[in-house]
Structure 1
Amino acid sequence: MCTSLTFTTADPYFGRNLDLEYHFGQQVVITPRNYPFTFKAMPALETHYAIIGMATVAEGYPLYAEAVNEKGLYLAGLNFPGNACYPCGPEDGTPAAPYELIPWLLGSCDSVDQAEEKLRSVRILDTPFAPNVPNAPLHWHLSDGKRTLVAEPMADGLRLFEDPVGVLTNNPAFDFHLANLNQYLGLSAAQPENRFGGPGLRPFGQGMGALGLPGDWSPASRFVRAAFLKWNSACEPDEASSVSQFFHILDAVAMPRGAVRTPEGKWDITDYSCCVNGRTGTYYYKTYDNSQITAVAMDEAAREGSKLLCRPLVTGQQFRTEP
Structure 2
Amino acid sequence: MCTAAAFRSKDFYFGRTLDYEFSYGDQVVILPRSYPLHYLEQETQTRHYAMIGMACVMEDTPLFYDAVNEKGLAIAGLNFVGNACYHPHAPGKENIAQFELIPWLLSQCASVAEARKRLECMNILDTPFRPGLPAAQLHWLIADREGSLTVESVAEGLMIYENPVGVLTNNPPFPMQMQNLANYRHLSPDPVEATFGPGLSLPQYSRGMGALGLPGDLSSQSRFVRVAFTKLNSRCGESEEESVSQFFHILGSVDQQRGCCHLGEGKYEITLYTSCCNTDRGIYYYTTYDNHRIIGVDMHREDLEGGSLIRYAPVTKERIPIQNAPKGDGV
Verify same fold: TM over 0.5. Answer: yes
Corresponding residue of 1:61: 61
Residue 276 (structure 1) aligned with residue 300 (structure 2): no
The 1:89–1:129 alpha-carbon spacing in structure 2 relative to 1, beyond 3 Å, is closer
> What is the identity, as a one-letter code, of the residue corresponding to 1:43?
E
Q: Distance in 2 between matches of 1:53 and 1:208?
A: 38
Offset at residue 261 of structure 1 (A): 1.8
> Which blocks of at least 5 consecutive residues in structure 1 are unaligned?
none
Corresponding residue of 1:189: 189
Query: Contact between 1:254 and 1:270, CA under 8 Å: does it hold in 2?
Result: yes
Offset from partner CA, 1:235-271 (integer Å, 9 cap, x none):
1111111100000011110110111122666211111
Offset at residue 197 of structure 1 (A): 2.6
Corresponding residue of 2:236: 235
Secondary structure in structure 2 of the residue aligned to 1:65 = strand
Offset at residue 289 of structure 1 (A): 0.7
Corresponding residue of 1:141: 141
Q: Distance in 1 between matches of 2:9 and 2:131?
A: 43
Q: Distance in 1 between matches of 2:155 and 2:135?
A: 16
Corresponding residue of 2:107: 107
The 1:166–1:259 alpha-carbon spacing in structure 2 relative to 1, beyond 3 Å, is same
> What is the identity, as a one-letter code, of the residue corresponding to 1:256?
Q
Offset from partner CA, 1:198-246 (integer Å, 9 cap, x none):
1221211111110000000111100000010111111111111110000
Provide the TM-score with structure 2 as the length reference: 0.95
Q: Distance in 1 between matches of 2:56 and 2:90?
A: 30
> What is the identity, as a one-letter code, of the residue corresponding to 2:238?
P
Q: Distance in 2 between matches of 1:218 and 1:107?
A: 33
Corresponding residue of 2:329: none
Corresponding residue of 1:318: 319
Corresponding residue of 1:166: 166
Secondary structure in structure 1 of the residue aligned to 2:295 = strand
Offset from partner CA, 1:82-135 (integer Å, 9 cap, x none):
000011785431111001001110001001111111111111111111113221
Secondary structure in structure 2 of the residue aligned to 1:299 = helix
Offset from partner CA, 1:164-218 (integer Å, 9 cap, x none):
0000000000000111111111111112212233122121111111000000011
What are the within-5 Å matches in structure 2 for residues 277-296 of structure 1?
277-296=278-297
Secondary structure in structure 1 of the residue aligned to 2:95 = strand
What are the within-5 Å matches in structure 2 for residues 203-242 of structure 1?
203-242=204-243
Query: Contact between 1:88 and 1:158, CA under 8 Å: does it hold in 2?
Result: no
The 1:27–1:139 alpha-carbon spacing in structure 2 relative to 1, beyond 3 Å, is same
The 1:162–1:255 alpha-carbon spacing in structure 2 relative to 1, beyond 3 Å, is same
Secondary structure in structure 2 of the residue aligned to 1:19 = strand
Percent of residue pairs bearing the same amino acid type: 49
Offset from partner CA, 1:275-306 (integer Å, 9 cap, x none):
00010010000000111110000116432211
- The count of residues paired between Structure 1 and Structure 2 equals 323
Q: Distance in 2 between matches of 1:264 and 1:86?
A: 31
Q: Distance in 1 between matches of 2:186 and 2:294?
A: 35
> What is the identity, as a one-letter code, of the residue corresponding to 2:188?
S
> Which blocks of at least 5 consecutive residues in structure 2 are unaligned?
326-331
Q: Distance in 1 between matches of 2:316 and 2:303?
A: 23
Q: Distance in 2 between matches of 1:89 and 1:67?
A: 26
Corresponding residue of 1:93: 93
Query: Contact between 1:88 and 1:157, CA under 8 Å: does it hold in 2?
Result: no
Secondary structure in structure 1 of the residue aligned to 2:84 = coil
> What is the identity, as a one-letter code, of the residue corresponding to 2:63?
L
Q: Distance in 2 between matches of 1:246 and 1:53?
A: 17
Q: Distance in 1 between matches of 2:11 and 2:168?
A: 20
> What is the identity, as a one-letter code, of the residue corresponding to 1:290?
N
Q: Distance in 2 between matches of 1:76 and 1:88?
A: 23
Offset at residue 162 of structure 1 (A): 0.2
Provide the TM-score with structure 1 as the length reference: 0.97
Corresponding residue of 1:178: 178
Corresponding residue of 1:84: 84
Secondary structure in structure 2 of the residue aligned to 1:82 = coil
Offset from partner CA, 1:143-163 (integer Å, 9 cap, x none):
012120000000000000000
Corresponding residue of 2:117: 117
> What is the identity, as a one-letter code, of the residue corresponding to 1:288?
Y
